[in-house]
Chain A
Amino acid sequence: MNETTDRTGDLMVDVSGLHVAFRTGGATKVRAVNGVDLLVRRGEVLAILGESGSGKSVTLRALLRLNPPRVADVTGQIRVAGIDVNALDARSLQDFRGGLVSMIFQDPGIALDPVYRVGDQITETVVRHKGVSRTQGRRRALELFERVRIPSPEQRLDAYPHELSGGMRQRAMIALALCCEPKVLLADEPTTALDATVQIQILLILRELQRDLGLTVMFVTHDIGVAVEVADKIAVMYAGKIVELGPVFDVIRKPRHPYTLGLLATRAHGGRLEGHRLPAIPGSPPDLANLPPGCSFAPRCKFATDKCRRIEPDRETVGLAHEVRCLNARLTGG
């Protein structure tokens, strides 16, 4: 017990040995998350970078126990601000969700109820969690609408979600997520569906709110540029594992895992020289119901040896707070 309190001193999120498998009805299970260990300190922004099926969203959902228990087997330990998330009873879980930890999604439709005015939804949430009057709740909603720069905020409080544009809905969802002063904000691709000129506005607002409110943020994205704009640390996920984790400068400028190297190289940028082709990663991500033995990336990796196809690589430290899961990390170092 004592050890835990020591570790949580500055720690906001402590995930260890997280596994999530989905039962599909048949004999096989879809192994979405396969041993994730994560530490996020207070006020830190961690971006989880990965492609579809890498387990990044499932990991994030596990923090709020949003993976449906009917089909999802979740094992491992998740502590947020010292609280054991998997041990919470129903009532405490309700307080925990939105109170201590809150989440924003790619599609604001998931978070906003289409038949209630957005202002009322925020007011109700504040009243439920903070036990204040409706007038005070409404005042809080207005304050947040101003913070997320919704023009004519007073009028917009009375709008229904469908009356708002995509960017405004996203701002309203951020206001809803922050209305009860959570310590941790989970963001699941919150800007992916937005136009470029709107995306950058939302990213900057999130960065500003994080700084002003001292939020701890876990930000899931498939876009390296988005991760660079918001994150202090980046965790790169592949086939349900974190394959590389480190400060944003190190992961972007000195990537060590072959998958991260590949992702950075495949990015189309700059003009194309005649006959030039992008250095693509061959093949496609593995079937999570039937993972290959050894390193999951080995079938697509140009550095892979027989050993990689047999042995699962362990975490190896390659720099200050920079670690990779690769048997050939020595080869990829500059």
Chain B
Amino acid sequence: MMAASSQTGAAAVPLLGVRGLTKHFPVGHALFGGAALVRALDGIDFDVQIGETLGIVGESGCGKSTAARLVMQLMPPTSGSIMFDGKVVGSAQLPLKEFRRQVQMVFQDSYASLNPRLTVEGSIAFGPQVHGASARDALALAHDILSRVGLDPSRFAGRYPHELSGGQRQRVNIARALAFQPKLMILDEAVSALDKSVEAQVLNLLLDLKDDFGLTYVFISHDLDVVRFISDRVLVMYLGRVAEIGPAKRVLGAARHPYSQALLASVPTMDPGRRTAEAPLTGDPPNPINPPSGCRFHPRCRIAEEVCHIREPLLTDQGGEHSVACHAAVAGSGHTAAGRDCAAVRPK
């Protein structure tokens, strides 16, 4: 399946297609004149191809978790559409219950994700039973999947969440998601709470499971090293918009958007001889209640020009399935660096 989709490239029907996805949260009360909108997500488009891992990066408040929750149908979008496997989610062809079987999510907080009163096997078998499996089949499946995620069923099946370490609990959460035999897994900071030595184990497990079960991942994280390791393509978000999207090697190796570049340059060095001399950005990410005019990044951008204050840049194809929303990357945008800088940075 993977081979087929990579051969036909972008022409294949994506597993997940998101168009114009928007979520605004009202805050305050209109009666007291305090009503405002948090523009958590403001019209984003992306596709996820069968068999790939799409990494989503960005800072707090950029909308990455909101996007995940909207895709999972955990809350209704303000506007926008979500297609799965070529079908509209929630339509007669793809009822919500069936969609939710095929798309599963793993969260950051492994403890809050599990019912403290259910044993490990109970938690894993619960879903398949809801979807019609007999109790005995569901339990057998739970034991099988437990061993697939590296937990010996004879030792772990009867335990409660509080009797497990963080790494073990996250394995249970992954097992529970797998019990639905999903096509797509959304991993929202799924390894962020784990210690580094355990994180590596879980990342390896995710790679093995992806091969074994033919899974597709959306991997949300603030950790660029982890995203670089696991992703085929990377999407960079800033204040509810897509800043840059493309193959992981290009987005993380030859980033075009000044924000992506700053994010990469902010990662602490591993070389004591080359410590960071200057912070790439000043100040905190702005509040999504009143996003800046024009390009949302312009107040913090080192190459912002007048056009950036006025007009919002559109996501523009740079070739090689790499798109950037920055005036400086688009010839004829009115930015003095447009076109010039473009060819210089483009890899061979």
Q: Name A residues whose Cβ lies closer than 8 Å to a Cβ of B.
A: 51-52, 149, 151, 165-168, 195-201, 203-204, 222-226, 228-229, 248-249, 252-253, 262-263, 266-272, 277-282, 284-285
Q: Is the CB of A196 within 8 A of B229?
A: no
Bound Cα distance A151, B300 (Å): 14
A166 partner residues in chain B, CB cutoff 8 A: 60, 284
**Interface code B218-243, partner A: CB below 8 Å = 1, 0 otherwise?**
00001111101110000000000000
- Contact between A266 and B197 (Cβ–Cβ < 8 Å)? yes
CA distance A203 to B204 in the complex (A): 31
Contact A196 B284 (CB under 8 A): no
Whether A280 and B280, one on each chain, are in contact in the complex, defined by CB atoms closer than 8 angstroms, is: no
Q: Please pick, from A204, A277, A279, the residue contacting B278 in the complex, using a CB distance under 8 A.
A: A204
Q: What residues on A are CB-neighbors of B204 within 8 Å?
A: 277-278, 280
Q: Cβ of A278 and Cβ of B203 under 8 Å apart?
A: yes
* Contact indicator A197/B279 (Cβ below 8 Å): yes
Residues of chain B contacted by A228 (CB below 8 angstroms)? 268-272, 275
Set of chain A residues within 8 Å of B196, measured between Cβ atoms? 51, 222, 224, 263, 266-267
Binds A, one of B113-121, B154-162, B259-267, B330-338: B259-267
Show 14 A/B contacts (Cβ-Cβ < 8 Å), sorted by A: A197-B262, A197-B280, A197-B285, A200-B280, A228-B272, A252-B270, A253-B272, A266-B200, A267-B270, A268-B228, A269-B270, A272-B230, A277-B208, A284-B197
Is B34 interfacial (CB 8 A cutoff)?
no
Q: Which residues of A contact B59 (CB under 8 A)?
A: 195-198
User: How far apart are A211's CB and chain B's nearest CB, in angstroms?
Assistant: 12
Q: Select B279's contact among A201, A269, A282, beta carbons within 8 Å.
A: A201
Min CB distance B303 to A, Å, is 16
- Report how many A-B pairs have Cβ atoms within 8 Å: 133
A202 to B14, alpha carbons, bound, how many Å? 41
Name, among B60, B196, B207, the residue most crowded by chain A CB atoms within 10 Å (CB to CB): B196
A204 pairs with B195, CB closer than 8 A: no
B225 adjacent to A277 (CB under 8 Å):
no
Q: In the assembled complex, how far is the CB of residue B159 from the closest CB belonging to chain A, in whole angstroms?
A: 14
Task: Write the B102-146 contact mask toward A (1 if CB under 8 angstroms, else 0).
Answer: 000000000000000000000000000000000000000000000
In order of increasing CB-CB distance, the 3 nearest A-B pairs are A225-B268, A268-B229, A280-B200
Q: Give me 10 other A-B pairs in contact (C-beta within 8 A), A269-B229, A277-B207 excluded.
A: A195-B59, A195-B284, A198-B59, A222-B195, A270-B229, A271-B248, A277-B208, A278-B204, A281-B201, A282-B201
Chain B hits for A252, CB < 8 A = 270-272
Question: A281 contacts B197, CB within 8 Å?
Answer: yes
Chain A residues lying within 8 Å of B276, measured Cβ to Cβ, are 200, 203-204, 229
Q: Does B165 contact A (CB under 8 A)?
A: yes
**A260 and B237 alpha carbons, distance in the complex (Å):** 34
Interface membership of B12, Cβ < 8 A: no
Q: State the CA gap A203–B266 with chains docked (Å).
A: 11
CA distance A168 to B276 in the complex (A): 21
Kindly list chain B residues whose C-beta atoms are within 8 Å of the C-beta of A168. Answer: 284
Residues of B within 8 A of A282 (CB): 201
CB B278 to nearest CB in A, in angstroms, measures 7
Q: Smallest Cβ distance from A272 to chain B, in angstroms?
A: 5
Q: Which of A149, A167, A263, A269 contacts B197 (CB 8 A)?
A: A263
Chain B, 283-325, contact with A by CB distance < 8 Å: what is the 0/1 string?
1110000000000000000000000000000000000000000
B208 / chain A contacts, CB cutoff of 8 Å? 277
Which residue of A151, A201, A224 has the most chain B CB atoms within 10 A of its CB atom? A201
Q: Name the interface residues of B173-200: CB closer than 8 Å to any CB of A.
A: 195-200
Bound complex: CA A175 to CA B175 (Å): 46
Tell me, rounded to whole Å, the shortest Cβ–Cβ distance linking B88 to chain A: 34
Please name the residue on chain A nearest to B287 by beta carbon: A165
User: Which residues of the partner chain A approach B165 to less than 8 Å between Cβ atoms?
Assistant: 284
Instruction: Give every chain A residue within 8 A of B230 (Cβ-Cβ).
Output: 268, 272
A249 / chain B contacts, CB cutoff of 8 Å: 272-273
Task: Report the minimal beta-carbon distance from A101 to chain B, rounded to whole angstroms.
Answer: 26
Choose one: B195, B225, B279; the contact of A267 (CB below 8 Å): B225
Q: From the candidates B197, B225, B267, B285, name the one contacting A262 in the complex (CB within 8 A).
A: B197
Residues in chain A near residue B262, CB distance under 8 A:
197
A90 CB, min distance to chain B CBs, angstroms: 37
Chain B residues whose CB sits within 8 angstroms of the CB of A167 once the complex forms? 283-284
- A162 and B281 CA atoms in complex are apart in Å by 23
Q: Nearest residue in A to B168 (C-beta to C-beta)?
A: A284
Q: CA–CA, A198 to B280, complex, Å?
A: 9
Known contacts A197-B279, A203-B268; is A269 also within 8 Å of B199 by CB? Answer: no
Instruction: Specify which chain A residues have a CB less than 8 angstroms from the CB of B197 in the assembled complex.
Output: 51, 262-263, 266, 280-281, 284-285
Contact of A268 among B195, B203, B273, B285 (CB under 8 A): B203
Contact A248 B272 (CB under 8 A): yes
Q: Give the contacting residue for A201; candidates B199, B272, B273, B282; CB below 8 A.
A: B282
**CB < 8 Å: which of A198, A200, A263, A277 contacts B268?**
A200
Q: For B278, what are the chain A residues with a Cβ–Cβ distance below 8 Å?
A: 204
In the complex, are the beta carbons of A51 and B195 less than 8 A apart?
yes
A residues in contact with B249, CB < 8 Å: 271
- Asked whether, in the complex, the Cβ of B248 is within 8 Å of the Cβ of A52, the reply is no
CB-CB under 8 A from A281, the residues of chain B are 197, 200-201
Within the assembled complex, what's the spacing in Å between the Cα atoms of A118 and B97?
A: 50
| Contact B200 A278, beta carbon cutoff 8 Å | yes
What's the nearest-Cβ distance from chain A to residue B149, in Å?
Answer: 14
Known contacts A229-B276, A268-B200; A223/B283 CB under 8 A: no
Q: Measured between C-beta atoms, what is the minimum distance from B298 to chain A in Å?
A: 15
